[in-house]
Structure 1
Amino acid sequence: MSTVQDYIDKNIETFQGQLFELLRIPSVSTDSSRKSDVQKAAGFLSTQLKEIGLDKVTVHETPGHPIITAEKIVNENRPTVLIYGHYDVQPPDPEELWDTPPFEPTIKNGRVYARGASDDKGQSFTHIKSVESYLQTGTELPVNVKFILEGEEEIGSPNLVPFIKENKDLLSCDMVLISDTAMFGEDQPSITYGLRGLAYMEVHVQGPNRDLHSGVYGGAVNNPANVLADIISKLKDEDGVIQIDGFYDDVEPLTPEMREAYSKLPHDEEAYKKDLDLKEVFGEKGYSTLERASARPTLDVNGLWSGYQKEGAKTVLPAKASAKISMRLVPDQHPDKIAKLFEKQVLSLAPDSVTVNVEAHHGGHPVVIDLDYYGLKAAAQAFEDVYEKEALYSREGGSIPIVADFQKILGVNSILMGFGLTKDALHSPNESFSLKDFHRGIKTSARFLELLPEYS
């Protein structure tokens, strides 16, 4: 292993230079004018995979942007790790808020600033370089590796799930390795072992056939904005408990082991409130802030609109009011079931004086990996060996739908080995990534591959 780690140390500046080449490519998947740039990024990565010595490197065209696969099978009896990443990025807008050009990597205070630096070019590139460090030193890979890199993650991966379903044999593996999350804190490695699911809804309340004068009709016609506010207020009680019949029926309770893992996380409640300019936090009684934010289901209004909203006054009784509402889900809640329960509850609260329409948008399944899973244990040891600090276990409140898709289609767990930090400003101006963590990430990935057979 020392040969591999020495290779990483001696070549880290070269690795950084190659990453910067990738960061200069404006592979914005949502912008049709950047389609050739997304293709260019795919070409850059496929060349990298070939040059480091991987086999069957293929750029698969899709109705959208390409998917890249590659592999190195050293022994059929060893574990196979499928490494997933995405090379598309968010738009840089608003560009005027960037301190440096978003597609010209700039080093400041040990961090590289560029769109995609952390999400996800920098993080996923660590695994390409760790595999290179085995192959280019003549050190046999301890496991079989496969890669799948996509260019549509930032637009919901519309072609990835069909591709996985059609290529299950090509992608067959024992686990998936993903680096697209954050560590719990600076110099504090952590492994994300759970992600919440999602049910995203839209509610429309229609009253009269047109906006009305509030002085002429007020008191005689029900106001859709008032009705919507009343419905929303009845979806949760004063303790933050969701008031939808059957909502909690399938919720998997937190185990003592999970709650112990939470208790070890270095959370500062006062700093948390100060950062948000809050006097108090709010949430379901009986749970800590971290548990509420990542291990318990939620219901939140994401958008609310009705009536006159411009400057000054207009005495209007609006004809329509609407809201967007998301529910974060935990095992074993099913997004389709929750969407139906939500619709039924909202309609039951609607008076006959208005018409209510409920629409279900997208959803995603929650995922939690057993803390005894051997892949998690190997990842934790790899972090500890490189960072010289015990790795903690955390869950995230957000969703990465592809993790549930890998579990459902390929029947395997995902190891979420994030090297980023919350201060990386993902999706925001001045996105950055610690070059120290880029270096340590490569070494941690290499160590993980070495340790895995010992834990399997």
Structure 2
Amino acid sequence: MKRISILLPIVLLVFPLLAQDANSQKINASHVNRHHALLAEYVQFCAIPNTWNDAEQLRQNASFIIEMMKKRGITNARTLEAEVPGAIPAVYGEILTPGATQTLIFYAHYDGQPVNPAKWAEGLSPFKPQLLTTSLDKGGQFIDFPTANTPINNDWRLYGRATADDKAGVFTILNAYDAIRQSGLAPKLNLKFFFEGEEEKGSTNLEAILAQHKDLLKADAWIIVDGPMHASGRKQITFGVRGDVNMNLTVLGAKRPLHSGNYGNWAPNPALKLVHLLASMKNNRGKVLIDGFYDDVVPLSKTERKALAAIPDPAPIMQKDLAFAAAENPKRSFLESITTIPTLNINGIESANVGRLASNIIPTMATVTLDLRLVKGNDVQRQIQKVVDHVKKQGYYVLDHEPTDEERMQYPNIAIIRNGVGYNAQRTSMDVPISQAVIKAVRSTSKEEIILMPSTGGSLPLFLFEKVLNTPPITIPVVNYDNNQHGENENLRVGCLWDGIETIAAVMMMGGF
């Protein structure tokens, strides 16, 4: 009897894991046999243009997603409109489980960045997905899409806009549920689906949609499926994102371009003035010199510091891949840099022409777009004001509009600063029950230890889910780190689709938390 009492706790501990493994095997078997059909459907999805500033394209994508949801038995599939002229709808659907008291909402976005086809590699077209044997920079060769009798190689790359960011998120979410359904199993939780169409332009109307449909979107957590995995390819959970805001800063010179010989050394040169102004903001070791720039940062918790320390530093892999000799601040690790420290980056500078189009003039203006990434504790408006105050301390008269001639004559240094739409950082505690449940579920699908990231370097307006709905978000990225998102030659490692389905299905099959 004593022997039974000792073994019983072990049996009770192991039995749920065995059941979970059996369920995972059923779920995986249900989608493995359909990989050819799934790949064909995904190619069709990615062939629909989805540029964020084309409303007609985005509504076509929304319609396609709704049809995919209906095919998979997802109920109440429809668009959620914002009462704002020109707003792009979100797409919603749900699976309500009888007796369930807890709910997860799964999020991805279906809009994409603009494309310049001329910059894509020869043979590639952004909205005509192409299959290659591996990535282009590793010598990938074009191949035909596989017939039903041709095995699919997980290392093949699918090239095309939004193949990784973020139609992969939409597709893995829908097919994770479909794999559960096809296997004859059922989730214990209520599942809701929310696909945004304005993420790439800053989620301009997301807050309005969330507020307008607040009751419908009640849940215990949002699972965000977006972004790249760790460079090692290990499965990953991310518990936060940085905030983001852009600032356009223009320095003015004379009202018209001037001959650089006749007026050089006399007329002010705004390009030179802008360079000096930017140099005053950040030193050559990557430290921002703007007063108070780091003052309000909330440090990582003990659990978060421990998780960060356990992650292999991907910098050596990525630095070799990207071919540069030294980081901006070599004393600071890559992971520390992107999770704990706000940034001030130059996205681009524009003044007069260069190269073959250059002419001997003093330009009339010089403009820079600054990208401020925020960490927890920073506030968008406070961070913007710090930059504005710094520009003023350098002797500039700051406006948000074109100056009058009288102002030009009165002030020797004039800067026009205009801000984009910004949002704050967000971080969900790793210690709360929902976080622990998601960690357990993802671990059950991985033979290697998974990556637990306190925050990612990228930005999403996840703070809105807490602000409007009082619901924590947790992010599970499913695509390869070298996917070229936002740039030319965007691509997806095909095996990421299947791994993503497995991972998200495990989260959908969680019990209570």
TM-score, normalised on structure 2?
Answer: 0.79
Instruction: Name 1:42's counterpart in structure 2.
Output: 62
Distance in 1 (CA, whole Å) between partners of 2:252 and 2:467 is 39
Structure 1 contact 42–68 (Cα < 8 Å) conserved: yes
Instruction: Name 1:301's counterpart in structure 2.
Output: 346
Whichever of the two has the greater Rg, that structure is: 2
Q: Quote how far apart the aligned CAs of 1:335 are.
A: 0.8
Deviations 1:330-356 (A, max 9, x none): 111011111122112112213542222
Instruction: Name 1:163's counterpart in structure 2.
Output: 209
In the alignment of these two chains, the number of paired residues is 451
Distance in 2 (CA, whole Å) between partners of 1:178 and 1:370 is 15
Distance in 2 (CA, whole Å) between partners of 1:239 and 1:83 is 40
Deviations 1:108-153 (A, max 9, x none): 4423514333222233222222223344455332111111123333
**1:265 corresponds to 2:289:** no
Q: Quote how far apart the aligned CAs of 1:400 are.
A: 1.2
CA distance 1:367–1:72, shift in 2 (3 Å) = same
Instruction: Name 1:74's counterpart in structure 2.
Output: 97
CA distance 1:66–1:270, shift in 2 (3 Å) = closer
From 118, 121, 133, give the equivalent of 1:97: 121
Where do 1:25-424 residues align within 5 Å?
25=45, 26-30=47-51, 35=56, 38-60=58-80, 63-75=86-98, 78-91=101-114, 93-94=116-117, 97=121, 99=123, 102-104=127-129, 106=131, 108=133, 109-110=153-154, 111-115=156-160, 116-267=162-313, 269-283=315-329, 287-311=332-356, 314-350=359-395, 352-394=411-453, 395-401=455-461, 403-424=462-483
Q: Which amino acid in the other structure matches residue 392 of structure 2?
A: L
Q: Quote how far apart the aligned CAs of 1:11 are.
A: 3.3
Q: Quote how far apart the aligned CAs of 1:278 are.
A: 2.4
Distance in 2 (CA, whole Å) between partners of 1:221 and 1:271 is 48
Distance in 2 (CA, whole Å) between partners of 1:135 and 1:410 is 29
Structure 2 contact 50–61 (Cα < 8 Å) conserved: no
Q: Quote how far apart the aligned CAs of 1:105 are.
A: 5.6
CA distance 1:98–1:252, shift in 2 (3 Å) = farther
Distance in 1 (CA, whole Å) between partners of 2:184 and 2:313 is 44
Q: Which amino acid in the other structure matches residue 342 of structure 1?
A: V
Distance in 2 (CA, whole Å) between partners of 1:433 and 1:271 is 19
CA distance 1:430–1:198, shift in 2 (3 Å) = closer
Distance in 1 (CA, whole Å) between partners of 2:129 and 2:38 is 13
Structure 1 contact 381–391 (Cα < 8 Å) conserved: no
CA distance 1:222–1:293, shift in 2 (3 Å) = same
Structure 2 contact 100–190 (Cα < 8 Å) conserved: no
Distance in 1 (CA, whole Å) between partners of 2:360 and 2:115 is 40
**1:11 corresponds to 2:56:** no
Distance in 1 (CA, whole Å) between partners of 2:325 and 2:216 is 53
SS of residue paired to 1:280: coil
Aligned residues with identical type, % of pairs? 27
SS of residue paired to 1:424: coil
CA distance 1:419–1:16, shift in 2 (3 Å) = farther
RMSD (Å), alpha carbons? 2.8
Point out where structure 1 has 5 or more consecutive residues left out of the alignment.
none
Q: Which amino acid in the other structure matches residue 331 of structure 1?
A: K
Q: Quote how far apart the aligned CAs of 1:434 are.
A: 3.2
Instruction: Name 2:141's counterpart in structure 1.
Output: none
Distance in 2 (CA, whole Å) between partners of 1:312 and 1:85 is 43
Q: Which amino acid in the other structure matches residue 399 of structure 1?
A: S
TM-score, normalised on structure 1?
Answer: 0.88
Distance in 1 (CA, whole Å) between partners of 2:245 and 2:62 is 32
CA distance 1:350–1:307, shift in 2 (3 Å) = farther
CA distance 1:98–1:362, shift in 2 (3 Å) = farther
CA distance 1:135–1:106, shift in 2 (3 Å) = same
CA distance 1:264–1:338, shift in 2 (3 Å) = same
Q: Quote how far apart the aligned CAs of 1:450 are.
A: 2.7
Distance in 2 (CA, whole Å) between partners of 1:27 and 1:186 is 31
